[in-house]
């Protein structure tokens, strides 16, 4: 890939972002992310989820637009901002219950280019904070996330209709000799969680036109 070409993760890594609607197994590599933790219903009026997204997008755009400033990042290449991703779990349960959104615990995240070091991350947070003094950049962290063996499926439609697609994914697991492995520790020590990748923008798409990758950690029986 030439340096002048924008890296589009969805096109470059189709196996990660464009699964089938029937289900598939995938061994997910270690990937660097920006992450912000939170809890509760993402639709709540306190707007904590929106604040988390503002932090993520603010910092990723600071890195992306460094090409127009005096800060020259070693190894820099331009990129299409990756899709928003989220890790989800329920307080006191290993299963997702969409009727109890107030009990959600979530980590919102955006994939980072491989050339982003801890130094670049710290610089981007500082630059973003200079322009947005009220932004709590201390909530944001950079982390290498290792998922390992997972099953994933493409969900089409509103987020509230995800359970029916997850049922299809669980049936796929049964047929392929696998079982759900949510809540266990990966080799990296990180807890394995329900993972969603949002290919559509709910602000611009009708609910029935949304596309979401549903990914769950699994193990062989």
The per-residue pLDDT for range 67-89, each reduced to its tens digit, is 998 889 999 999 999 999 999 99
Supply the Cα-derived Rg of the chain in whole angstroms.
18
User: Is 0.85 surpassed by the pTM of this model?
Assistant: yes
pLDDT of residue 129: 97
CB 151 within 8 A of CB 173: yes
**Of 192, 108, 201, whose CA–CA distance to 159 is shortest?**
201
Tokens of 159: 């987020």
- Break the chain into its structural domains and give their ranges: 9-220
The proportion of the chain whose per-residue pLDDT surpasses 90, expressed as a percent, equals 78
Question: Could you read off the pLDDT of 146-196 as tens digits, one per residue?
Answer: 999 999 999 999 999 999 999 999 999 999 999 999 999 887 888 999 999
Residue 43 DSSP one-character state: T
CATH 3.50.50.60 is held by the domain 9-220: no
Specify the pLDDT at position 4. Answer: 58
Termini Cα distance of the chain: 40
Nearest residue to 114 via CA among 56, 31, 36: 31
Average pLDDT over residues 8-24: 96
Judged against a pLDDT cut of 60, whether residue 3 lies above it is answered with: no
Inter-CA distances, 30 with 20, 75, 186, 187, 196, Å: 22, 19, 11, 11, 16
At residue 16's C-alpha, the angle toward residues 147 and 107, to 5°, is 50
Query: How far, in Å, CA of 221 to CA of 207, rounded?
Result: 36
- Residue 118 contacts residue 46 (beta carbons within 8 Å): no
Residue 167's alpha-carbon distances to 90, 98, 154, 173, 180, in angstroms, are 18, 14, 12, 10, 12
Question: Tell me, what DSSP letter sits at residue 203?
Answer: T
What is the predicted pLDDT for the residue at 45? 65
């Amino acid at each position: 890939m030439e340096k002048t070409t924008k890296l589009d993760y969805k096109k470059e890594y189709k196996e990660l972002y464009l699964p089938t609607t029937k289900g598939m197994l995938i061994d997910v590599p270690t990937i660097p992310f920006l992450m912000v933790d939170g809890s509760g219903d993402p639709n709540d009026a306190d707007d904590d989820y929106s604040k988390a997204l503002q932090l993520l997008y603010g910092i990723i755009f600071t890195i992306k637009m460094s090409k127009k400033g005096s800060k020259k990042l070693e190894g820099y290449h331009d990129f299409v901002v990756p899709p928003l991703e989220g890790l989800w779990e329920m307080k006191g349960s290993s299963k997702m219950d969409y009727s109890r959104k107030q009990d959600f615990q979530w980590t919102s995240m955006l994939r980072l280019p491989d050339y982003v070091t801890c130094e670049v991350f710290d610089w981007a947070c500082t630059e973003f904070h200079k322009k947005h003094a009220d932004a709590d950049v201390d909530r944001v962290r950079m982390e290498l996330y290792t998922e390992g063996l997972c099953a994933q499926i493409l969900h089409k439609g509103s987020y509230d209709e995800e359970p029916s697609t997850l049922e299809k994914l669980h049936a796929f697991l049964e047929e392929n000799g696998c079982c759900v492995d949510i809540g266990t520790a990966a080799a990296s020590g990180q807890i394995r969680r329900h993972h969603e990748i949002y290919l559509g923008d709910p602000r611009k798409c009708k609910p029935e036109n949304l596309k979401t990758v549903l990914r769950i950690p699994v193990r062989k029986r």
